[in-house]
């Protein structure tokens, strides 16, 4: 293999030439982006002429090459893997983060689909990890469900994950939260009961869980 060094490396072999995309590739890009299968499976980028392709190269591809030094597909995957290596992400959350880097929507979705197919991206794992994290922070099922809905997670995934936690565990979490709230002050007159019920409600516990937890405290 012979390497040429200019601004970017060019890899020249008997079977292919791998180089950075430039304005000289506009004709090829015009044909590629208007190919039937490209439009069907990736999307129409509204490149209607070679001049449109030149604009696309200079405004979309070249700036990313200058700032990052490699292709948008590789860059999207690298960014996605950077985020996923830190913790689980939902598809929507990862899409939002990648969008902030000004990648094209179609390219982001294509890479997210690949990551999901490789089981590197999973809304189910994200929901399970999210529920576990919020439980450790003393949040109840109502609060957790609402937060997940805000993150545009599928309702059935939320329902299944929340219902895997039995009521005794939720009651135990509510009891722990209440104990931390009360400290050494164990007085539970009527006004304090109302305040504690409101506190547990804000934490996201159901009314039945709240009543049961407060009643158990009264008996202790």
- pLDDT value for 3: 37
Residue of higher predicted confidence among 187 and 151: 151
The H helix count followed by the E strand count for the chain is: 13, 3
Does residue 153 surpass a pLDDT of 60? yes
Q: Report CA dihedral (201, 203, 207, 208) to the nearest 10 degrees.
A: -150
CB-hemisphere CA count at 13 Å for 37?
0
User: How far is Cα 161 from Cα 179, in angstroms, rounded to an integer?
Assistant: 26
CA dist 109 and 94 (Å) reads 10
Regarding predicted confidence, which is higher, 213 or 69? 213
- Could you read off the pLDDT of 85-144 as tens digits, one per residue? 889 999 999 999 999 887 778 888 888 998 998 899 999 999 999 999 999 999 999 999
Which of 77 and 86 is assigned the larger pLDDT?
86
Q: What's this model's pTM, rounded to 2 decimal places?
A: 0.66
Q: In 3D, which of 165, 172, 164 has the Cα closest to residue 212?
A: 172
Q: Which one has a higher pLDDT value, 192 or 126?
A: 126
Averaged confidence pLDDT in the chain: 83
Q: What are phi and psi of 12, to 5 degrees?
A: -120, 115
What is the reported pLDDT for 128?
95
Q: What is d(CA 80, CA 147) in angstroms, rounded to the nearest whole number?
A: 23
* pLDDT tens-digit series, residues 20-54: 777 877 887 888 788 887 777 667 888 899 999 89
- Give me the torsion for CA of 108, 112, 113, 118, rounded to 10°: 150
């Amino acid at each position: 293999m012979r390497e040429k060094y200019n601004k970017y490396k060019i890899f020249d072999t008997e079977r292919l030439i791998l180089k950075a995309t430039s304005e000289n590739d506009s004709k090829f890009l015009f044909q590629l982006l208007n190919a039937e299968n490209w439009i069907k499976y990736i999307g129409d980028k509204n490149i209607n002429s070679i001049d449109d392709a030149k604009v696309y190269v200079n405004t979309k591809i070249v700036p990313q090459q200058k700032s990052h030094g490699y292709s948008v597909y590789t860059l999207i995957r690298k960014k996605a893997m950077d985020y996923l290596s830190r913790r689980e992400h939902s598809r929507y959350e990862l899409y939002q983060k990648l969008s902030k880097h000004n990648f094209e929507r179609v390219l982001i979705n294509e890479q997210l689909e690949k990551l999901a197919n490789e089981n590197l991206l999973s809304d189910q794992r994200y929901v399970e990890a999210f529920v576990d994290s919020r439980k450790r922070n003393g949040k109840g099922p109502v609060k957790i469900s609402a937060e997940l809905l805000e993150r545009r997670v599928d309702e059935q995934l939320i329902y299944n994950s929340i219902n895997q936690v039995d009521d005794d565990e939720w009651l135990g979490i509510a009891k722990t939260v209440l104990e931390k709230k009360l400290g050494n002050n164990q007085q539970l007159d009527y006004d304090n009961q109302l305040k504690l019920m409101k506190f547990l409600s804000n934490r996201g516990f159901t009314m039945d869980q709240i009543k049961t937890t407060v009643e158990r405290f009264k008996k202790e």
